[in-house]
Amino acid sequence: MSLKKNYQGETNRIMWSILKFDKKKLSLLQKDLKKKLGEDIKIYIPKFRIQKYKNNKLITKEINLLGDYLFCFHRNLKLKNTINSLKFSRGLKYFLTGFVESQNDIEKFVTKCKTSECKEGFLSINFFELDLKRDYKFSTGPFTDKIFQIINLQKNKINILIGNIKTTIKEKEFLFTPI
């Protein structure tokens, strides 16, 4: 009985859903969703920016954190007939199942992503939880693609070990990912 009450309470909530999309047809998907659901739809794709040197040129690349998945936020996504009417939208591969039961986890993840974004809307290093003695790989800066270990974490600086060289970097200057 209590489950029924909780479930009924959930039906009043605005829902996050997770969609798999065709990267080449993302703009078509966004147009179709706005056309079918209205302008109050929110689409969120967490991204980070990496920089690489190629042929002595610095190349900046945007990468979707979740590959070809996105978050979609709208009050009618809790209704099965709304989901069914959206299934054949251009650029949509499918809705990830189980999103109704995972609303708290999805909200926590999206909130963590949004609080970790820089001014330009890209995820910063604050998104990743840093561990001592774990291997990381630089995604930006002069050390791009170099592997290092974190020796010590300070307030705004990180002591690292690249090979046999110990150095200190500022936490916010470089983007790196765990290996």
0.75 cut: is pTM over it?
no
Count the domains in the chain: 2
For the beta sheet containing 15-21, the strands, ordered from the edge strand earlier in sequence to the opposite edge, are 42-44, 69-74, 15-21, 92-95
Question: Are residues 43 and 80 both part of a single domain?
Answer: yes
Question: Are residues 134 and 103 both part of a single domain?
Answer: no
Lowest mean per-residue pLDDT among 18-22, 53-57, 65-69, 93-97 = 53-57
The pLDDT score that the predictor gives to residue 125 is: 66
Mapped onto helix, strand or coil, the DSSP state of residue 42 is strand
pLDDT tier, 1 (very low <50, low <70, confident <90, very high otherwise): very low
The pLDDT score that the predictor gives to residue 151 is: 85
Asked whether residue 13 carries a pLDDT value surpassing 80, the answer given is no
Task: Say if residues 27 and 35 touch (Cβ distance below 8 Å).
Answer: no
Vertex 122: Cα angle to 121 and 127 (nearest 5): 120
Asked whether residue 123 carries a pLDDT value surpassing 80, the answer given is yes
Question: Are residues 119 and 33 both part of a single domain?
Answer: yes
Question: Are residues 28 and 109 both part of a single domain?
Answer: yes
The C-alpha atoms of residue 98 and residue 108 are separated, in whole angstroms, by 16
β-partners of residue 72 are 17, 43
